[in-house]
Each structure stands twice: as structure tokens, then as C-alpha cells.
């Protein structure tokens, strides 16, 4: 047979984060006691009231197709959340509920990118940005954003084919929060060169230090900002697959055709859980935030004390991104093989991520302490 699958899938880069999670799962199934510091999946049991809301909806027969954009109740709750947190007013008709932030990202790019278009993507940055651009026929153009967004670098990267920029604040893997001045600079450039902005704020509820500014709060670019958000990280709901896309006014109708022909809709009972979660925001979000903050501080101090590791506490989220004095992929392999601690090599996130490790403090406190003990005892691999 000469038939082969399309390059669209054959040429796609695997997700380094998902593959590591599967590796850990397989090692555990084989009896190894691996401590996972590799996946951004909070060890939070979804609050019982959220689970009860889904159960109620299921028992009430919410088991049919629903509106492709999402239930009215959840879209209204999302619009209210946006008004409160970003100050941007959204008509619920401009909100599309998606299976996680990942599909909100893909939906944005499906809507924006023509074959051959270029999209500026942050490096180091989340592993799915480039593949999602490629799935839409676009070409990702990497933009270094390790510790600042440099207007000269953007100016140098922009071409007549630039269709969009992806910004992630707070950022995975660094935890960096983009300051208002940088958002404004990107907003100016987007207007001047006429490209879309995808603003991924899935860690926006986990800002520990300082203010958090959002792109959709800048009125001059409200007509070109696609906001990607998710309940995964905020509420410990990764497995529920629940996120949203907030669109510029009036753009939802054509985009919804993509939803109609792909997922159609999210389960109603999952969305009922989402409404309940958002109603509990003031109670739950600060509790989870404090939990991660305490772990970040403790773990950063212990890592920083290890020779060859330099670790600071990030402004947000639940990742540490220490610089290591050894090749990062070797360190990650050494820790996994020798002491059963899984961490992500920073080079998985591209560019200047190399030379770092990403450690997610999303396991239990006891496991985190045990992992840190093992790391402190072993240290970095000796130079070859
Ligand atoms: N954006 C970033 C930066 C992420 O790290 C993640 C993590 N998976 C997502 C979006 C999407 O998360 P989810 O699909 O679980 O909402
Ligand atoms: N975003 C999380 C991470 O970076 C979950 C895995 C994924 O979706 O990539 O670990």
C-alpha cells in the first residue's frame, strides 16, 4: 500500500508535556513510585459542590445536544467574570464555550489563519502554540519573551504575512506576568501592522505578586483580541475539559460554524459544573492560589540552595523555572531514571528555555518535599 497519512498529522510535533505525563503513567503502572513535577495538573479534587451541580444536571436529563456556543447560563457567567476581572464588557453572544483552553486556542487560529500566514509565538512558550498554528496551515515565527517583550524584535519579525501574535500572561513555563507597558506596545504594533492578538490568560487567576493586566482591557484593540481562558487551572478541573473563547464584538457567528462541524457542543452537565465553579470563585480561587504560592516559595528556596541551580519565585502560576548548570535534557533524564522525579526540560518550551527545568508544584506537599529531598541528595549530573 502506498497510502500514507496526511503530513498534517505525520509532521506534527508531539506534545512534550503530554508525552511526559504518559511516560510517568506507564512507569507507575510498572510499579515505579515516580513523583510527577512535570504536568500542569493541580492536585486539587474538584470541589464537591461543583461535582454535585454536574450530577444534578445529569439526573435532570441534561444529556442532549446543546447550543454550539455553550449554555446561556455559562456564557452569561463568563461575560460577568470578564466584566469584573478585565473591565471589558462582552455580550454573552461573543463568548464560545470550548473543551478546555487548548481548543479555544485552536478555534482562534482556525478563525484567523490562512495557509501561508505567519503567527508570532512566544519562546519559551507552551508546547501547543506552534503545532496549533501549523494545524491551521500557518507558519509559527518564534519571538523571544523570556524576561521581556522587545519591540525591536517584534518589528524585525513582522512581515506582510504576519496575521497574529500569541501572548500568554501569566506565562507557561516562566510564570512571568506581562507588564501593562509591554501590552500597550504590542497593542500599538498590532494596530500599526494590522494583526490579531490571541491573549491566553489560563493562569490569570493565579497571580501571586503585583497587578495583572489583560489585553482585552485596552479599548483600542478590543476589536482584534481573542481571549483564551479555562477553568482547568483555577478550579482544579483539568479533566472536565472546560474553557472559553471571548471574541471581538460580532465575530462569533462565522467562528461557530467551525464548532458546529467539529465538536458541536460541550456536555450540558459539564457546563452546569462550570456555572457552579464560577459562582464559587471568591471562595475557592484565593485558597488554591495561596496553596501554590506557599509551595513555590518553599521549593524555590530549597532548589536555589543546591549547587548549580538558580531558582527564584515567579510572579504567578505553579511552575518553577530554575536555571541549571548542566544540559537540561540530561538533568531531566538523570532525575527520572535515578530518583524517579519527573521534570520538564526547559528546552521543550523552545529558545532560551534551554538551560532551565520546569517543575510544576502540583503534587501533594509530602510528595513535593520527598522530591526535593531526592533532588538535593542527587544534585545535577556530573559533567561528562
Ligand atoms: N494555555 C497554556 C499556557 C497552558 O499551559 C495550558 C495547559 N494545558 C492551556 C492553555 C490549556 O489548558 P486546558 O486545555 O486544560 O484548558
Ligand atoms: N499545560 C499543561 C502543561 O504545560 C498541561 C499539559 C498540556 O496541555 O500541555 O503541563
CATH of residue 130's domain is 3.40.640.10
- Going from the Cα of 271 to the center of ligand 1, the distance in angstroms, rounded, reads 18
Residue 59: inside a domain: no
Residue 295: all three cell numbers together: 509551595
Residue 51: inside a domain: no
Backbone φ and ψ of 363, nearest 5°: -95, -175
Digit-coded pLDDT (tens) for 183-235: 999 999 999 999 999 999 999 999 998 899 999 999 999 999 999 999 999 99
**Which atom belonging to ligand 1 lies closest to the Cα atom of 238?**
15
158 and 78, same domain (yes or no): yes
Residue 50: inside a domain: no
Look at ligand 2, atom 2, and give the residue with the nearest C-alpha. 40
294 and 168, same domain (yes or no): no
Rounded Cα–Cα distance for residues 368 and 35 (Å)? 8
Element of type H or E holding 345: strand 344-345
The answer to whether the beta carbons of residues 195 and 112 sit under 8 Å apart is no
pLDDT of residue 210: 87
Rounded Cα–Cα distance for residues 13 and 22 (Å)? 16
Does 72 contact ligand 2 (Cβ within 6 A)?
no
* Alpha helices (H) in the chain, listed in sequence order: 7-10, 16-29, 48-59, 72-85, 100-112, 129-135, 151-157, 180-193, 232-235, 252-261, 268-279, 281-304, 328-339, 365-378
84 and 226, same domain (yes or no): yes
pLDDT of residue 209: 86
| Domain's final residue, options 244, 260, 280 | 280
Residue 2: inside a domain: no
Query: Counting Cβ atoms within 10 Å, is residue 202 exposed (0-12), middle (13-18) or buried (19+)?
Result: buried
Does 238 contact ligand 2 (Cβ within 6 A)?
no
| Domain's final residue, options 222, 251, 280 | 280
pLDDT of residue 151: 92
Residue 29: inside a domain: yes
**Which atom belonging to ligand 2 lies closest to the Cα atom of 344?**
10
The answer to whether the beta carbons of residues 243 and 228 sit under 8 Å apart is yes
240 and 196, same domain (yes or no): yes
296 and 355, same domain (yes or no): yes
Residue 53: inside a domain: no
Ligand 1: which of 16, 40, 101, 131 to mutate, judged by most atoms within 8 Å of the beta carbon?
101
Does 39 contact ligand 2 (Cβ within 6 A)?
yes
Rounded Cα–Cα distance for residues 338 and 332 (Å)? 10
**Which atom belonging to ligand 2 lies closest to the Cα atom of 39?**
10
| Domain's final residue, options 280, 305, 336 | 280
264 and 294, same domain (yes or no): no
250 and 317, same domain (yes or no): no
pLDDT of residue 351: 87
CATH number at residue 359: 3.90.1150.10
Question: How many separate domains does the chain show?
Answer: 2
Rounded Cα–Cα distance for residues 244 and 105 (Å)? 9
267 and 329, same domain (yes or no): no
205 and 301, same domain (yes or no): no
Q: List Cα–Cα distances, 347 to 5, 16, 313, 321, 358, in angstroms.
A: 29, 10, 20, 11, 9
294 and 247, same domain (yes or no): no
272 and 222, same domain (yes or no): yes
Rounded Cα–Cα distance for residues 20 and 299 (Å)? 21
The answer to whether the beta carbons of residues 380 and 309 sit under 8 Å apart is yes
203 and 313, same domain (yes or no): no
Residue 329: inside a domain: yes
Does 127 contact ligand 2 (Cβ within 6 A)?
yes
Residue 348: all three cell numbers together: 521543550
- Going from the Cα of 17 to the center of ligand 2, the distance in angstroms, rounded, reads 6
Residue 54: inside a domain: no
Ligand nearest to the CA of 202: 1
Ligand 1: which of 232, 237, 318 to mutate, judged by most atoms within 8 Å of the beta carbon?
232
Instruction: Spell out the residues 6+ positions from residue 369 whose beta carbon is closer than 8 angstroms to its own.
Output: none
Q: What letter does residue 177 receive in the DSSP assignment?
A: P
Its domain, for residue 323, covers 7-45+282-378
**Which atom belonging to ligand 1 lies closest to the Cα atom of 105?**
10
Max CA distance (Å), the chain: 63
Low-confidence ranges of the chain (pLDDT < 70): 383-384
Neighbours of 327 (CB within 10 A): 18
Amino acid at each position: 500500500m502506498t497510502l500514507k497519512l496526511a503530513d498534517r498529522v505525520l509532521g506534527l510535533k508531539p506534545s512534550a508535556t503530554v508525552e511526559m505525563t504518559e511516560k510517568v503513567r506507564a512507569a507507575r503502572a510498572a510499579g515505579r513510585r515516580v513523583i510527577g513535577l512535570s504536568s500542569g495538573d493541580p492536585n486539587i479534587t474538584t470541589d464537591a459542590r461543583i461535582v454535585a451541580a454536574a450530577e444534578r444536571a445529569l439526573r435532570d436529563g441534561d444529556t442532549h445536544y446543546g447550543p454550539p456556543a455553550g449554555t446561556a447560563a455559562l456564557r452569561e457567567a463568563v461575560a460577568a467574570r470578564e466584566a469584573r476581572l478585565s473591565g471589558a464588557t462582552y455580550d454573552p453572544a461573543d463568548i464560545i464555550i470550548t473543551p478546555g483552553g487548548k481548543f479555544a486556542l485552536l478555534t482562534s487560529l482556525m478563525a484567523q489563519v490562512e495557509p501561508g500566514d505567519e503567527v508570532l509565538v512566544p519562546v519559551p512558550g507552551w508546547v501547543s502554540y506552534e503545532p496549533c498554528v501549523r494545524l491551521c496551515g500557518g507558519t509559527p515565527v518564534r519571538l523571544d519573551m523570556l524576561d521581556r517583550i522587545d519591540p525591536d524584535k517584534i518589528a524585525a519579525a513582522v512581515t506582510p504575512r504576519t496575521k497574529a501574535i500569541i501572548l500568554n500572561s501569566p506565562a507557561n513555563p516562566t510564570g512571568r506576568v506581562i507588564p501593562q507597558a509591554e501590552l500597550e506596545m504590542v497593542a500599538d504594533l498590532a494596530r500599526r501592522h494590522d494583526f490579531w492578538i490571541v491573549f491566553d490568560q489560563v493562569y490569570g487567576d493565579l497571580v501571586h505578586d503585583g497587578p495583572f493586566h489583560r489585553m482585552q482591557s485596552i479599548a483600542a484593540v478590543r476589536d482584534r483580541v481573542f481571549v483564551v481562558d479555562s477553568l482547568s487551572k483555577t478550579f482544579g478541573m483539568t479533566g472536565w475539559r472546560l474553557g472559553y473563547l471571548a471574541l471581538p464584538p460580532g465575530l462569533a457567528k462565522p467562528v461557530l460554524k467551525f464548532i458546529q462541524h467539529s465538536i458541536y457542543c460541550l456536555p450540558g452537565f459539564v457546563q452546569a459544573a462550570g456555572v457552579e465553579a464560577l459562582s464559587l470563585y471568591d471562595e475557592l480561587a484565593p485558597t488554591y492560589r495561596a496553596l501554590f504560592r506557599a509551595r513555590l516559595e518553599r521549593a524555590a528556596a530549597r532548589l536555589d540552595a543546591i549547587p548549580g541551580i538558580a531558582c527564584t519565585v515567579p510572579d504567578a502560576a505553579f511552575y518553577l523555572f530554575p536555571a541549571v548548570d548542566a544540559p537540561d535534557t540530561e538533568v531531566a533524564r538523570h532525575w527520572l531514571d535515578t530518583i524517579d522525579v519527573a521534570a520538564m526540560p526547559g528546552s521543550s518550551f523552545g529558545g532560551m528555555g534551554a538551560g532551565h527545568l520546569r517543575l510544576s508544584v502540583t503534587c501533594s506537599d509530602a510528595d513535593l518535599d520527598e522530591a526535593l529531598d531526592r533532588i538535593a541528595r542527587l544534585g545535577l549530573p556530573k559533567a561528562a
